[in-house]
Amino acid sequence: MPRDLLWINGETMPAEGALLPLEDRATVFGEGIYEVAIFYDGQPFMLREHLERWEQSAAGIELVSPGTLEEREARICALVEQSGHLDALVYGQLSRGHARRNHLFPDPLAVAPTEFWIVRKAPVHKPECYRTGVRLVSQPDERWAHCHYKTISLLPNCLAKERAHRAGGYEALLYREDGTVTECSSSNAYCVRGGVVWTHPATNRILEGVTRQAIMAAAASLGIPVREQAVTLEEFKQADEAFISSTTMEVMPVTAVDEAHIGAAKPGPVTLRLREAVRARVMRECGIPQAETA
């Protein structure tokens, strides 16, 4: 029987009921990094890329990531196998550790980081969303200046997504003061104009998604041009097609933003080609038989 498991600082236990120390810096300051990876049929998809981003995020906030990437990769794979989940979502988090509350960093020689990984069953998105596309609701981008680090300080993201949800949206499409679109609250955003995929460049204003990397590679192999340049919210709404991406949803078609229909208000051909290409890569790398895909 599959079970949700937690690995924390060298100990493995049931995920349910696990607690962090009261003054862990993740709790009192929202100070830390995280990653979310996916396994299909017991095999990881682009786990190495997730862990490389983990190291970059840790370095970006001056946080020492204990051990090596290879050790972390082996630990995660072993935890997933132990859990019994074949299709698994893995969440990992690293903070500066447990110390008396003080804005200054604790002495790293006296306080060890807190690292944990949770394995649960992978979520399943509704098939009709892929068939008909989803609606985004635009929200101002109120996040900090280092969105390229995957940190746990996600209050602006949560506020945007909650407000979009209350307005009947699937996701929040974020835009800056100058009107340019950055990304979504928990996914990257793209629009298609004249057969060209437009997406915000991988600067400090967005988190470069691992699935985004897969999309870029797929577009190159298919001969689909990509332009990494910001568009305005109005330009996004007037696009021929649009889609969003993340680790759990892969490529999700977008058919409306606010009250505006995107193109023909149905998933477009470029979106579908990229979705199929990314799905094919997942199948290939995770050994999923063709008959098992939706």
Measuring CA to CA, how many Å separate 212 from each of 69, 189, 251?
A: 21, 9, 9
Compute the distance between CA of residue 284 and CA of residue 257 in angstroms, rounded to an integer: 33
Q: Is 150 annotated in the active site?
A: yes
Spot the catalytic one: 150, 161, 237, 266: 150
Give the 3-state secondary structure percentages of the chain, helix then strand then coil, rounded to 5: 30, 30, 40
d(CA 232, CA 154): 24
Please provide residue 43's backbone torsions phi and psi, each rounded to the nearest 5 degrees: -115, 140
Give the list of residues 6+ apart from residue 90 with CB closer than 8 angstroms, or none: 35, 36, 37, 38, 39, 76, 79, 80, 117, 118, 119
- Could you tell me how many residues make up the chain? 294
Helix (H) or strand (E) holding 268: none
Which string of b and e fits 234-245 if b means at least 16 CB within 10 Å? eebbebbbbbbb
Report d(CA 124, CA 140) in Å as an integer: 28
d(C-alpha 36, C-alpha 160), whole Å? 20
- Which residues participate in catalysis according to the annotation? 150
